[in-house]
Amino acid sequence: MESLKELKSYQIIIPVSLVAVLVAFIVACLILTLVIYIKRLHTVTHLLICNTSISSIFYCIVQCVNYVFLLFIRWEINDTSCRWRGFFGYMAVAAVIYSYLIQATSLVLIPLPALLTDDIHYRPFTLCWVPKKYTLHVIYTVLAYYLIPAILIFAIYIYIYICMKHPRYRVFIVTARRRSNRDLEVLCNIMILFAIYTLGAIPTILYLLTNIRFLYGMGIVTVSFTVAIEKIVTLILDRDIRNIIKLYLRRSMVQIRPIS
């Protein structure tokens, strides 16, 4: 009875989550295409945006695969297969959040406990995540996938901000006030985007603390929605990408305008 109730909740949660995943996938592909083909966008800042977009695409693909197994391939009950799905699921989450640190090797190393332990095993009508009863492993996932990268990233970017504002260091970082303002704008945008990601983890952390089942489902949806929102906000905040999209839209409107 409990399993059927969980399946029904997933039948609501997954379609909603898939809408967000689809939006995130389309916008991430659009950003990648623009950065690859527009020479103006071949900058360090846009390389970081591309890195995050690739991570978002990877997350979208992994989530779709996990949802397909949960809803349509229910006969696959092998623990090893479930463990690999859990490994890639955690890797996808790590890929998104660690993309702000540009640490590619950490994406493989951090989720390794999902494979090296037997904590993840097949459970009917449930995603292949670490069950809450494995307290140490759950604490590790919260620390490794959310808290540690969040603290590191905030510390690094606050340090950069202080260096930019402090007269003693500013001369070594920028040579003109205009450039300094531009760098601060980019830094502010990155912090806004990262804040969106960290907010998406709040329902999951609250679920681990309170054991309220509603928060578990909400956590699945909010992570997917924060990935989609982050991609949309990237388009809005990045002046260069925004101006290029506006230019292409104007050109297309001129081309389809009927001749009077």
Residue 142 sits in a domain whose CATH number is 1.20.1070.10
Is 135 in contact with 80 (CB distance < 8 Å)? no
Range of 38's domain? Answer: 2-256
For the chain, 260 residues long, give each residue's pLDDT as a single digit of tens: 556 666 677 888 889 999 999 999 999 999 999 999 888 888 877 887 888 888 899 999 999 999 998 888 888 888 889 999 999 988 888 887 777 665 555 566 788 888 888 899 888 878 888 988 898 999 998 888 878 877 877 777 777 667 666 655 554 444 545 555 555 666 666 677 677 777 788 888 888 888 888 888 888 888 889 889 888 888 888 888 888 888 888 877 666 555 54
CA distances (Å), origin 97, targets 72, 123, 173, 194, 238: 29, 27, 26, 8, 19
Kindly report each contact of residues 185-192 with a partner whose C-beta sits within 8 Å and lies 24 or more positions away, as own/partner: 186/45, 187/157, 187/160, 187/161, 189/237, 189/238, 190/48, 190/100, 190/157, 191/154, 191/157, 192/233, 192/237
Total count of domains within the chain: 1
**pLDDT for the residue 209:** 84
- Main-chain dihedrals φ then ψ at residue 126, nearest 5 degrees: -140, 140
Measured distance CA(107)–CA(99) in Å, rounded: 9
Long-range contacts of 210-219 (CB under 8 A, 24+ apart): 211/132, 213/9, 217/9, 217/10, 217/12, 217/13
Task: Indicate the pTM of the whole model.
Answer: 0.80
Tell me, what's the pLDDT at 189?
Answer: 66
